[in-house]
């Protein structure tokens, strides 16, 4: 985290682990387009399965097997008096970028839910962008196991009702609120 290292060094580090599936996450990986394209190319050459997690605000052609989009819902907005509020509200959903990913890749759209009312925004986006039910994944917002557990039951029920998928926050279960793991 917070280090600039070359694509070759990243690939070399990955080869130390006994894994065949690499998940590239961020920040926003697509901001570093050239490096991302190069990294995906090298990983594909090595036979890795590649998933890229993105907020779906930037598009680039890359060699990836799954694009996991996580568009930001209103529940992620900074407070109205925050200087980034207007920009965040304007840029958080890029339907054009989401369409492009859906047209060119195997995708899932992961929505982080704070309250049951978030479902209304998710369903509006689903209709507006023509997202299939099976591509939607719901995940509870939370930084502690207790906070996540308090939301998991109603989110799982929504998934069953609407044929969506559920994703736990395994990283919180394993590492808690630790960064850079």
Q: Would the CA dihedral through 4, 98, 149, 76 be positive or negative?
A: positive
**Are 42 and 88 contained in the same domain?**
no
Domain residue limits at 38: 1-53
**Are 30 and 84 contained in the same domain?**
no
pLDDT at 88 over 70: no
In a domain, 158, yes or no: yes
pTM for the full predicted model: 0.87
- Return d(Cα 112, Cα 28) in angstroms, integer: 16
**Are 81 and 34 contained in the same domain?**
no
Residue-wise pLDDT for 161-176, tens only, equals 999 999 988 777 777 7
**Are 162 and 100 contained in the same domain?**
yes
**Are 98 and 176 contained in the same domain?**
yes
Return the minimum-mean-pLDDT range out of 43-47, 133-137, 159-163, 174-178.
174-178
**Are 49 and 86 contained in the same domain?**
no
pLDDT at 85 over 70: no
């Amino acid at each position: 985290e917070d280090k600039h290292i070359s694509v070759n060094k990243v690939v070399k580090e990955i080869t130390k682990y006994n894994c065949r599936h690499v998940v590239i996450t961020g920040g926003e990986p697509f901001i570093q387009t050239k490096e991302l394209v190069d990294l995906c190319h090298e990983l594909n050459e090595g036979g890795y399965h590649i998933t890229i997690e993105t907020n779906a605000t930037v598009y680039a052609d890359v060699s990836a097997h799954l694009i996991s989009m996580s568009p930001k819902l209103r529940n992620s907005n900074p407070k109205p008096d925050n200087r980034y509020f207007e920009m965040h509200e304007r840029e958080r959903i890029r339907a054009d970028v989401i369409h492009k990913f859906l047209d060119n890749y195997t995708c899932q759209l992961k929505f982080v839910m704070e309250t049951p009312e978030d479902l209304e925004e998710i369903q509006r986006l689903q209709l507006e962008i023509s997202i299939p039910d099976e591509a939607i994944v719901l995940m509870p917002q939370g930084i502690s196991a207790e906070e996540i557990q308090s939301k998991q039951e109603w989110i799982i029920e929504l998934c069953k009702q609407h044929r969506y998928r559920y994703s736990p926050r395994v990283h919180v279960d394993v590492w808690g609120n630790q960064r850079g793991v």
